[in-house]
Amino acid sequence: MDAVRNAGGVPIILPVGGADLRELIHFIDGIIFSGGGDIDPNWYGGDSHSTNYNIDPERDRFELALMNIVLKSKLPTLCICRGTQILNIVLGGNLIPHIPDVFGETVFHRTPDKKPVDHMIKIRPKSFLAIIMNEKVKNVKSWHHQSLDKLGKGLNAVAWSDDGVVEAVELKKNELFLAVQWHPELNAAENPLENHLFLDLVKKAKKS
């Protein structure tokens, strides 16, 4: 909420459940699908993992349904961490249940006590993300143990950590949709480049 305010927007929290989602999006000019607990693996044909935490069936149903509607709209959208995973699942992709099982621990994406951690990413040149951030390599603050596996239909990977984990995706030919795996809100106030993601969203929202 602070990051949206600092970018010149007015944050509104959408309550989970009990609303006509098609009517709901008429009251907003842009949307952020934020971070949070793990998504129930049943939604993407995955298996439960011992590290799964904070699974919320009601939130899963709400956000998956909302994402389906938003994808058919022209609403400027920023997905963060869990939000990026929601996007991938809706488009037919799946998730890696626990990053260390596949990529090892050459790069930590959260500390052992589940706290945020800094690491480097590489951004694909000429991607929407690279244009917004004006960078090809940057330090980000991550806080996740799952990541995208098979990409959903229409998604392009545009950023990776050094271990190969996908850190950002974009919808082909759709600059209104940007999805990152890290948490730009955690240091947007101190890092102007992180704030660019929110400035870009608010700018597009005001034009919509």
pLDDT digits (tens, 9 = 90+) for 31-53: 999 999 999 999 999 999 999 99
pTM listed for this prediction: 0.96
Give residue-wise pLDDT tens across range 108-137: 999 988 899 999 999 999 999 999 999 899
State yes or no: is 183 an active-site residue.
Answer: yes
Domains of the chain: 2-207 (3.40.50.880)
Q: How far apart are CA 121 and CA 193, in angstroms?
A: 14
Confidence of residue 20 (pLDDT cuts 50, 70, 90): confident
Q: Could you write out the three-class secondary structure of the chain?
A: CHHHHHCCCCCCCCCCCCCCHHHHHHHCCCEEECCCCCCCHHHHCCCCCCCCCCCCHHHHHHHHHHHHHHHCCCCCEEEECHHHHHHHHHCCCCEECCHHHHHCCCCCCCCCCCCCEEEEEEECCCCHHHHHHCCCEEEEEECCCCEECCCCCCEEEEEEECCCCEEEEEECCEEEEEEECCCHHHCCCCCHHHHHHHHHHHHHHHHC
Q: Which of 63, 79, 81, 119 is catalytic?
A: 81
Q: Does the annotation count 170 as an active-site position?
A: no
Q: Does residue 79 have an active-site annotation?
A: no
> Active-site residue among 63, 170, 185, 194?
185
pLDDT at 19 over 80: no
The catalytic position among 119, 183, 194, 196 is 183
